[in-house]
């Protein structure tokens, strides 16, 4: 190992440093101190090497962007505004200092998209690289999963399924050069490695009755929201078919012999926002009805499910 823990902390502090009047004490002390005069929203996400990312599939820059995107999406899904991040990293000791710095730059670049500052964290040694990010944000009235009402429109900020498509291509070692839809495949790989989250769309969702980040897939997240709200989420396959991106995703799925609804219904990790309400921006994909559970109506074959365990 060509560096000490102190060396890593110095490099991280330089990368993450920026003016922020809300920070009283930043990186370098036993804990950070920030000023606040509002309701605080807190969320944590973890990424474990071999489970959530692989070094042979993603650059350290993309890995850093990916974990922060997942974290910030959870804050925005509450109708909140993110302010600060705390980042803890477990390293094996085999990483170069350049690899660590590129990871940190990825973390910082994604945070900067939302004017978020990294204020502290921890560095330890472990058997695999593990990254834990805690986000702190502020909110007036949070938007919960439990607020969906019968008659609500169900909307998404983007078509889910692209990240799942990228994962499929990597797991099956698909040669993109041999694909007619290679451009669509490149988009899928990019969305898996470092998803583009529609942060700019969330402020327009402030009148949503319920909202969630699609980290675990449309059907799983929809079922969770439906259960919390005591209603049924009916996703309409015909509406989803009319999404401008559907034809591209479907052509890729057909070329590699996959069922596109598996990607759309159960893929996850796109960090698309799913919301319910009346007259919301976004793309309508269904309605909230009386009943329970979640389904994609009009399909001959149900999408395969997904589980963390």
| CATH of residue 252 | 3.90.650.10
pLDDT in tens, 99-154: 999 999 999 999 999 999 999 999 999 999 999 999 999 999 999 999 999 999 99
Q: Is residue 46 part of a domain?
A: yes
Cross-strand bridge partners of residue 273: 213
Q: Are residues 133 and 151 in the same domain?
A: no
239-248 mean pLDDT: 98
Q: Are residues 120 and 208 in the same domain?
A: no
Q: Are residues 160 and 245 in the same domain?
A: yes
**Structure-block tokens of residue 27:** 């990186």
What's the domain range around 216? 145-297
Determine the Cα–Cα distance for residues 33 and 255; give it in Å rounded to an integer.
Answer: 53
What is the structure's pLDDT at 305? Answer: 66
pLDDT in tens, 256-272: 999 999 999 999 899 99
Q: Are residues 53 and 179 in the same domain?
A: no
Percent of the chain clearing pLDDT 70 (strictly above): 96
Determine the Cα–Cα distance for residues 102 and 60; give it in Å rounded to an integer.
Answer: 6
Q: Are residues 171 and 216 in the same domain?
A: yes
Q: Is residue 308 part of a domain?
A: no
User: What is the number of structural domains in the chain?
Assistant: 2
39-51 mean pLDDT: 94
CB atoms within 10 A of CB 174: 18
Q: Are residues 61 and 133 in the same domain?
A: yes
Least confident of 19-23, 74-78, 101-105, 145-149: 19-23
CA torsion through residues 109, 113, 115, 121, sign:
negative
Q: Is residue 303 part of a domain?
A: no
Q: Are residues 189 and 234 in the same domain?
A: yes
pLDDT band at 32 (very low <50, low <70, confident <90, very high): low
pLDDT band at 20 (very low <50, low <70, confident <90, very high): confident
pLDDT band at 308 (very low <50, low <70, confident <90, very high): very low
**Which of the pair, 26 or 241, is modelled with greater confidence?**
241
Cross-strand bridge partners of residue 213: 273
Q: Is residue 305 part of a domain?
A: no
**Structure-block tokens of residue 40:** 């605080």
What is the structure's pLDDT at 24? Answer: 76
The pTM score is 0.90
pLDDT band at 193 (very low <50, low <70, confident <90, very high): very high
Q: Are residues 63 and 150 in the same domain?
A: no
- Tell how strand 283-289 and strand 153-156 pair up: antiparallel
**Structure-block tokens of residue 149:** 């009402």
94 Ramachandran zone, left/alpha/beta (phi>0; psi -120 to 50): alpha
Residue at which a domain ends, from 108, 124, 139: 139
Determine the Cα–Cα distance for residues 129 and 124; give it in Å rounded to an integer.
Answer: 10
């Amino acid at each position: 190992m060509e560096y000490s823990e102190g060396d890593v902390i110095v490099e991280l502090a330089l990368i993450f440093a920026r003016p922020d009047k809300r920070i009283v004490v930043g990186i370098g002390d036993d804990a950070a101190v920030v000023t606040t005069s509002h309701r605080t929203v807190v969320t944590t996400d973890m990424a474990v090497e071999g489970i959530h990312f692989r070094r042979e599939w993603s650059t350290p820059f993309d890995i850093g962007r990916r974990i922060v995107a997942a974290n910030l999406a959870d804050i925005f899904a509450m109708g909140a505004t993110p302010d600060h991040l705390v980042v803890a990293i477990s390293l094996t000791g085999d990483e170069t200092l350049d690899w660590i710095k590129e990871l940190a730059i990825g973390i910082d670049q994604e945070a900067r998209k939302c004017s978020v500052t990294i204020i502290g964290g921890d560095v330890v040694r472990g058997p695999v690289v593990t990254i834990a990010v805690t986000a702190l944000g502020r909110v007036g009235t949070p938007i919960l999963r439990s607020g969906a009402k019968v008659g609500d429109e169900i909307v998404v900020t983007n078509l889910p399924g692209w990240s799942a498509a990228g994962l499929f291509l990597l797991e099956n070692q698909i040669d993109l050069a041999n694909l007619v839809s290679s451009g669509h495949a490149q988009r899928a790989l990019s969305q898996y490695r470092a998803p583009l989250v529609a942060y700019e769309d969330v402020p327009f969702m402030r009148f949503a009755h319920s909202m969630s980040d699609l980290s675990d897939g449309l059907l799983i997240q929809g079922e969770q929201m439906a259960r919390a709200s005591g209603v049924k989420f009916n996703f309409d396959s015909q509406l989803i078919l009319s999404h401008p991106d559907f034809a591209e995703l479907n052509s890729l799925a057909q070329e590699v012999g996959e069922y596109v609804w598996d990607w759309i219904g159960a893929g996850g990790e796109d960090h698309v926002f799913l919301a319910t309400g009346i007259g919301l921006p976004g793309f309508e994909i269904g309605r909230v009805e009386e009943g329970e559970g979640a389904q994609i109506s009009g399909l001959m074959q149900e999408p395969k499910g997904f589980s963390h365990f």
